[in-house]
Chain A
Amino acid sequence: MAETGRLTRAPALVANPVMLLRVGLIAAVLALWQTVSVSGLLFRDVVPSLGAIAGALARLLVDPGFFGHLGTSALEIAVALVIGGLSGLIVGLALGANRLLGKAFEPYLYYLGPTPKIIFFPIMIMWFGVGPGSKVAMGVISCFFPIALSTAAGMRQIDRVLIRVGRSFRAATWQMVSKIYLPAMREPIVNGVRLGFGVAVIGTLLAETKLSNRGVGFLVINSYSTFDMPRMYALLIIVFMIAIGVNALVGRLGAGRPHIKS
């Protein structure tokens, strides 16, 4: 019984120094930044003062135009995730379910997956035009590979017993997919979607920096060409925060509910 008290107090003891260290590290970095900025050791425009960055951040967040651009990018990424995710899921299921298909085509996906996707952008412009279509296409070819590969891998690690249960109930193919395969593969699929989301964001936004007049990528490259560094820092901070937040949220979905055992 005496143990209980120690166990409940322990996390607080551990958490405190960690929090302190975190706050200290952030404060140290900010202080260093401000010192460098004020000292003029580096060009002031490259390291703008914290006040300038905070001001730019505030201006962005009250600017309705910014949310228009953010909405454009978000929509492009969402459409890309739906198209790339669904096709990745279908291809992954097919490759995972059939040994021959898997062995025949998975190596291609495996080796094409880590190639730089942005180089396909000129082709995507020719196929889908200079508008949002080509950005969505960039997102699609980026996120297709990780989702297809992790679905196929996830499919192979399903407990054989579950599949046999489905078969002995004479489940139809779509029933097998919706009742057995997908629930049993939640973790690898969520992981694939997480990876896919990350690369879809990169693909779409990089395409926007190359050729577009809308979206967050366009804003970033626009701040570069007008040399508005505080604004660029503010934009990068917002994009990173959103990407990290969504990633954490999707990850929580994957690890969320405990497995139902009954």
Chain B
Amino acid sequence: MNGARRLAAKLAPPVLGLTTLVLAIILIQILIEAGRINRFVVPLPTQIAASFGRVIAEENVLGRFLLTAGEALAAGVLLTVVGIGLGVLLYRFRLLRLACETWVAALASAPLVLMYPLFLVIFGRSALTMVMIGFVAALPPVILKTIEGLAGTRRVLIDVGRSFKLTQAQQFWKILFPAALPSMFVGIRLGLIFALINVVGVEFLINFGGLGQLINELAERYDLPGTYAAICFVVLVSVCFFAVTGWIERWLRPAD
């Protein structure tokens, strides 16, 4: 009896959420069919669902997805190398950190992606522009999280390393780096998410490349159900990306 109640309590929230979502979609369908919502502004949900297959089959969605994901991953590799490198540098030289950390934090709050026209001039309309904009826009959080992780290493661990007379390099690789790894991964994950958002955004804005361009193209063709379907698809892709990196993060984090 108790178990059944517990199961019901566990299932109630997702069921409520899903039911509301389905009901909202049905309501929209009814309102459009009744002419309350203009169907030339919001297409019928059934039309959107039906155009999913068409968009996937005709618009080379897999190729576009691979392109966008590849650009975001390339930006992620750059972020990992440069971001963690700079973070370690700032941690290692205290004076440098005191001088620059607030600058990095300030840059994190600036709309860096607005530099995309500048990148277009420098790198041209190419995949390199996407990678670079994803990289630059996502760099500050990676640096900040790396410093945070290194600076948060427990004092005891550092003292253990000292009492074993570890060299600087050993101290870094055996103590500081493993201790900072979870926080660094939080930074890399944030960076990857930022990179993906910015890559898709700029693809949409300059009508070039992968998934972002797909939406722009369908919208310019005034293929309404297609546009909505493509947007749903991109949202799904980013949600999956977000969820998977979230799992990896939890898996990497030591049980504490």
Chains A and B are bound partners: yes
Contacts of A25 in B (CB 8 A): 99-100
Most chain B Cβ neighbours within 10 Å, of A116, A120, A217: A116
Contacts of A22 in B (CB 8 A): 99-100
Is the CB–CB distance between A111 and B242 below 8 Å?
yes
Is the CB–CB distance between A100 and B16 below 8 Å?
yes
A4 to chain B, nearest CB (A): 23
Given contact pairs A18-B99, A100-B16, A243-B111, A118 touches B204 in the complex (Cβ within 8 A): yes
Contacts of B169 in A (CB 8 A): none
The one of A46, A112, A198 in contact with B122, judged by C-beta atoms closer than 8 angstroms, is A46
Contacts of A258 in B (CB 8 A): none
Q: Which residue of B lies closest to A200 (CB)?
A: B111
Is the CB–CB distance between A247 and B200 below 8 Å?
no
Is the CB–CB distance between B20 and A104 below 8 Å?
yes
Contacts of B219 in A (CB 8 A): 122
How distant is the Cα of A120 from the Cα of B212 in the complex, in angstroms?
A: 11
A144 to chain B, nearest CB (A): 15
How distant is the Cα of A100 from the Cα of B197 in the complex, in angstroms?
A: 31
The one of A206, A210, A232 in contact with B113, judged by C-beta atoms closer than 8 angstroms, is A206
**Which one of B151-159, B160-168, B174-182, B226-234 is at the interface?**
B226-234
Whether, in the assembled complex, B34 has its beta carbon less than 8 Å from a beta carbon of chain A, the answer is no
Is the CB–CB distance between A115 and B205 below 8 Å?
no
How distant is the Cα of A22 from the Cα of B96 in the complex, in angstroms?
A: 9
Whether, in the assembled complex, A193 has its beta carbon less than 8 Å from a beta carbon of chain B, the answer is no
The one of B12, B14, B117, B205 in contact with A118, judged by C-beta atoms closer than 8 angstroms, is B205
Is the CB–CB distance between A18 and B201 below 8 Å?
no
Given contact pairs A239-B114, A244-B110, A14 touches B98 in the complex (Cβ within 8 A): yes
Q: Which of A108-154 contact B (CB under 8 A)?
A: 108, 111-112, 114-116, 118-123, 126-127
Whether, in the assembled complex, B75 has its beta carbon less than 8 Å from a beta carbon of chain A, the answer is no
Given contact pairs A104-B16, A108-B17, A111-B239, A220 touches B114 in the complex (Cβ within 8 A): yes
Contact with B along A14-30 (1 / 0, CB 8 A): 10011001100100000
Q: Which residue of A lies closest to B198 (CB)?
A: A116
Contacts of B196 in A (CB 8 A): 116
Contacts of B228 in A (CB 8 A): 123
Given contact pairs A105-B20, A229-B121, A122 touches B227 in the complex (Cβ within 8 A): yes
B65 to chain A, nearest CB (A): 14
Is the CB–CB distance between B109 and A247 below 8 Å?
yes
Contact with A along B165-199 (1 / 0, CB 8 A): 00000000000000000000000000001001110
A128 to chain B, nearest CB (A): 10
Q: Which of B47-88 contact A (CB under 8 A)?
A: none
Q: Which residue of A lies closest to B239 (CB)?
A: A111
B28 to chain A, nearest CB (A): 13
Whether, in the assembled complex, B29 has its beta carbon less than 8 Å from a beta carbon of chain A, the answer is no
Is the CB–CB distance between B238 and A116 below 8 Å?
yes
Q: Which residue of B lies closest to A118 (CB)?
A: B201
How distant is the Cα of A224 from the Cα of B75 in the complex, in angstroms?
A: 24
A170 to chain B, nearest CB (A): 29
Is the CB–CB distance between A104 and B113 below 8 Å?
no
**What are the 7 closest A-B residue pairs judged by CB atoms, nearest first?**
A103-B13, A122-B219, A224-B117, A247-B109, A104-B17, A104-B16, A104-B13
Q: List 11 A-B contacts (CB under 8 A).
A: A18-B99, A25-B99, A105-B20, A115-B234, A116-B238, A123-B231, A221-B117, A224-B118, A229-B118, A244-B109, A248-B109
